[in-house]
Structure 1
Amino acid sequence: MFDTVKKSFQYKEIRNRILFTLLMMAVIRFGSQLPVPGVNRDYFSNWFAAQQTSDAFSLFDAFTGGSFLNMSVLALNITPYITASIIIQLLTIAIPKLEEMQREGEEGRKLLISLTRYMNIGLSLIESAAMAIGFGRSGLLEEYNAVNVIMVITTLTAGSAFLMWLGERITEKGIGNGISIVLTINIISRIPSDVATLFRQFVLGQNVARATIATAVILAVIAGMVILVILLNGAEVHIPIMYSAKFKNGKSSRQDLPIKVNTAGVMPIIFAASIMEFPVIISTLVGYHGTGWWSEALKYLSSSYWCNPAQLKYSVGLIVYIILLVFFAYFYTSISFNPLEIANNLKKQGATVQGIRPGKPTQSYLENKLKYIIFIGAVGLTIIGILPFIFRGVFNANVSFGGTSLIIVVSVVLETIRQVQSMTQTVGYMKSRNRSLLA
């Protein structure tokens, strides 16, 4: 990795892209500290400390890099854009016209991006209004009136739109996928405070032996999870493909069709967590603080109560979460990986899966193969997803840097490194070629 970075700085084109990306990161972190006018910045800090069900907003705060907790102008961050992207992606399956756009190439892609932008603005308006009205009445706004509500809605929506624009500029002029880079820098910015929290809770004030053991365990767990995420992210199953129309030494050429073990990426965790947290968030926004059956039901949905030895009954919610995670692993893969389309494409190219007849048999083979691959990926995702809940429930280790965040950070870092490597090789080849032509 260090050799890749070193080589990339040798070329002006890549060096400028990296420096532009770093500059945009600095702008993002600066914007995360700018306060929204007329807002009590300590409101959410106090609210998080008082709420046991604040885990529903903890992931949101991690994704915003603490902007939500600080109630900065970037409090909504790019979460509305991510939600809009997911909705548009799902709608392409339900609406034939959108599916047509997706297959139209560059023009269709531009139209879908425009739809995502408009939906991002719409969702930002809804979310900022819910925050300004729902929390404004209970102390978020210094003065709860129409002017302050409108000002907060306008500021938060503008902040979300600005970050969307910034992400697109990073994609165009910087390194990596801009939206992913914004999300990753937000998550990484929370790591120092999480590490400090763990240090104060398990190391500070302990004797040398206990402090050493606690430090070793924390480092081992973090390292183990990172390694597991890297393995899961890079794991692939290669299906041998034979091209009968191409010959080498009288034999048909062979290539491999790679299928990622974790085909769905982090989406199953996000979907499962969103469904579990949705009732908690709605109840919080409407100001429900009851003690009846609904309040009891919310405890089953809140990960704050899972894996707690003193309240094991609430861990039923964790079982529901795992079922949802596995379901969405299969669901999301089914909409992003189409065995029928792949089988038809292979047939058109005169290619076959080794030992399998083209057409319907190939489709059936890929579908059966995919079931096992998805299951392995879902098991890996489940382990990564529930480990933070186990440590929080048993040891009260409450940090924002959980399994979801870890998968996103590792995936984006690895993908960005691959892009830098590719760009370095391409630029290096072009410069060598130009030198040869001039000679």
Structure 2
Amino acid sequence: MIKSIQNIFSIPELRRRILFTLGMLAVYRVGCHIPTPGIDAQVLAKFFEGSQGTLLGMVSAFTGGALQRMTVFALGIMPYISASIIMQLLGVVFEPVERLAKEGEQGRKTITKWTRYGTIVLSIVQGAGIAVGLQQMSGPAGEPVVPGPGLGFILLTVLTLTAGTAFIMWLGEQITERGIGNGISLIIFAGIVANMPAAVVNTLRLMNTGAISLFVMIVILAVMVAVIGAIVFMERGQRRLPIHYAKRVVGMRNYGGQKSHLPLKVNMSGVIPPIFASSIIMFPATIANLVEIEWVQAFAAMMTPTHILYNVIFVAFIIFFCYFYTAVTFNPLDVAENVKKQGGYIPGIRPGKATSDYINDVLNRLTFAGAIYIAAVCVLPTILISSFNVQFFFGGTSLLIVVGVGLDTAAQIEAHLISRSYEGFMKGVTLKGRQG
């Protein structure tokens, strides 16, 4: 392992990318401890003590505790994710955006610019909702969370939270461009991992007080290990469609006659569906939690991870986004045309439209299996573990994000090493897909 690490840092470009990524994540974690002006932090902490296992607890876990401390990064990266969802949906139903998506690099730059503007708008709306809600919050003894409420506090909070989200968005884009891995996913990854030491300490404290027995703790650890193993197993799974290339004679040489395959992952969408689904559920329910209206409070009570309605909606969103994101990122018609142009074909399938239909049928079946797997990983462990009074971020959604992002980042490091004739940073192990 030491030699593998030496191989990684012996490549100047890869070393710079890794150090740049770590530096940007360190900046993000520093920002998660800079408080928003005008808030009594001690009273707010008492208010959040009862939010573990609720939606607010999940949002706080995704933001690395920034929401619980109400720092400048309290909104996290969720407004950017929501804006990305809106733009991708518009790319399907709104023709001008669809044309931009097909214009290549220039069109993608325009869509990215609109996504940034959308992020700012959503941040202003969410920041205003949080500012108004904070003024209505109070501690156990009735002390206000905001000592000096008013229009000035609302404007200052909206400006602070919006600027924080814009800075996180910039950090994520810089990591993607100049670092290693997907910047937005790594920021969420860092927020979840940052809470795990505190979760371990709290769990040990519950064991010492007798709230959790040793047997229950063993069961929880076994569930976590099983979920991690299932995630790794499924994320590496592939369906490889055989591709044969016909022989061609060019001058005095023969070309083609080779066999290859088209790899289709079981989970083509990665960790995007649960992130998108969580983002959509968080937005209305978080605002509902901050409004003192009876029916709104009743709705907010149902939108917690332990309620059946929340889980039904969550699973439905996951399945939808699995199909949606797969359709956005993978076009069977384009793949079939490229295979045809290169003189390739799938044995027993005619080139062109028939090949496209065949790939689409296989992809739909794989996507359904992947969606069920993601939904099971995100929902079942959360229901089981929450019933044992364990910290929420031990749930399946967080584990899926942590393991999935870790595997993707490791695969990118592996690709850099292989491109420079290194065997890999894990001796005898590569992160190639497992055929299924």
Q: Following the alignment from structure 1 to structure 2, what is the Cα–Cα distance between the partners of residues 401 and 46?
A: 22
Which residue is 1:158 aligned to? 163
| TM-score in terms of structure 2 length | 0.85
Which residue is 1:204 aligned to? 208
Q: After superposition, give the CA deviation of every residue in 1:362-381 in whole Å (9 maximum; x if it has no partner).
A: 22212221232122112211
Describe the shift of the 1:77–1:368 C-alpha distance in structure 2 as closer, same or farther (beyond 3 A).
Answer: same
**How far 1:166 sits from its partner (Å)?**
1.9
**How far 1:64 sits from its partner (Å)?**
0.9
Q: What RMSD over aligned residues (CA atoms) do the two structures have, in Å?
A: 2.9
Mapping 1:285-324, distance limit 5 Å: 285-288=290-293, 290=294, 298-304=300-306, 306=307, 315=308, 318-324=311-317
Mapping 1:121-140, distance limit 5 Å: 121-138=120-137, 139-140=144-145
1:391 equivalent to 2:384? Answer: yes
1:406 equivalent to 2:427? Answer: no
1:336 equivalent to 2:329? Answer: yes
Mapping 1:29-428, distance limit 5 Å: 29-50=29-50, 55-138=54-137, 139-201=144-206, 203-206=207-210, 210-211=213-214, 213-244=215-246, 252-274=257-279, 276=281, 280-288=285-293, 290=294, 298-304=300-306, 306=307, 315=308, 318-427=311-420
**How far 1:98 sits from its partner (Å)?**
2.0
Which residue is 2:8 aligned to? 8
Describe the shift of the 1:2–1:402 C-alpha distance in structure 2 as closer, same or farther (beyond 3 A).
Answer: farther
**How far 1:323 sits from its partner (Å)?**
4.1
| Structure 1: 5+ residue stretches without partners | 307-314, 430-439
Q: Following the alignment from structure 1 to structure 2, what is the Cα–Cα distance between the partners of residues 19 and 190?
A: 22
**How far 1:15 sits from its partner (Å)?**
2.1
**How far 1:72 sits from its partner (Å)?**
0.9
Q: Is the contact between residue 63 and residue 79 of structure 1 (CA under 8 Å) also seen in structure 2? A: no
**How far 1:218 sits from its partner (Å)?**
2.9
**How far 1:81 sits from its partner (Å)?**
1.4
State how many pairs are aligned. 413
Q: Structure 2: which amino acid aligns with 1:230?
A: V
Describe the shift of the 1:388–1:246 C-alpha distance in structure 2 as closer, same or farther (beyond 3 A).
Answer: farther
Q: Which has the higher helix share?
A: 1
Q: Following the alignment from structure 1 to structure 2, what is the Cα–Cα distance between the partners of residues 330 and 414?
A: 22
Q: Following the alignment from structure 1 to structure 2, what is the Cα–Cα distance between the partners of residues 407 and 140?
A: 34
Q: Structure 1: which amino acid aligns with 2:379?
A: I
Q: After superposition, give the CA deviation of every residue in 1:257-294 in whole Å (9 maximum; x if it has no partner).
A: 11111122233334444555555334223322x2x6x7
Q: Is the contact between residue 65 and residue 195 of structure 2 (CA under 8 Å) also seen in structure 1? A: yes
Q: Is the contact between residue 77 and residue 165 of structure 2 (CA under 8 Å) also seen in structure 1? A: yes
Describe the shift of the 1:250–1:280 C-alpha distance in structure 2 as closer, same or farther (beyond 3 A).
Answer: closer
Describe the shift of the 1:217–1:252 C-alpha distance in structure 2 as closer, same or farther (beyond 3 A).
Answer: same
**How far 1:228 sits from its partner (Å)?**
1.2
Q: Following the alignment from structure 1 to structure 2, what is the Cα–Cα distance between the partners of residues 423 and 35?
A: 39
**How far 1:296 sits from its partner (Å)?**
5.2
Q: Following the alignment from structure 2 to structure 1, what is the Cα–Cα distance between the partners of residues 320 and 114?
A: 28
| Structure 2: 5+ residue stretches without partners | 138-143, 423-436
Describe the shift of the 1:75–1:178 C-alpha distance in structure 2 as closer, same or farther (beyond 3 A).
Answer: same
Q: Structure 1: which amino acid aligns with 2:28?
A: I
Q: Is the contact between residue 42 and residue 70 of structure 1 (CA under 8 Å) also seen in structure 2? A: no
Describe the shift of the 1:41–1:228 C-alpha distance in structure 2 as closer, same or farther (beyond 3 A).
Answer: same
**How far 1:332 sits from its partner (Å)?**
3.4
Q: Is the contact between residue 187 and residue 401 of structure 1 (CA under 8 Å) also seen in structure 2? A: no
Q: Following the alignment from structure 1 to structure 2, what is the Cα–Cα distance between the partners of residues 381 and 74?
A: 28
Q: Following the alignment from structure 1 to structure 2, what is the Cα–Cα distance between the partners of residues 220 and 361?
A: 46
| TM-score in terms of structure 1 length | 0.84
Deviates more, 1:185-194 or 1:137-146: 137-146
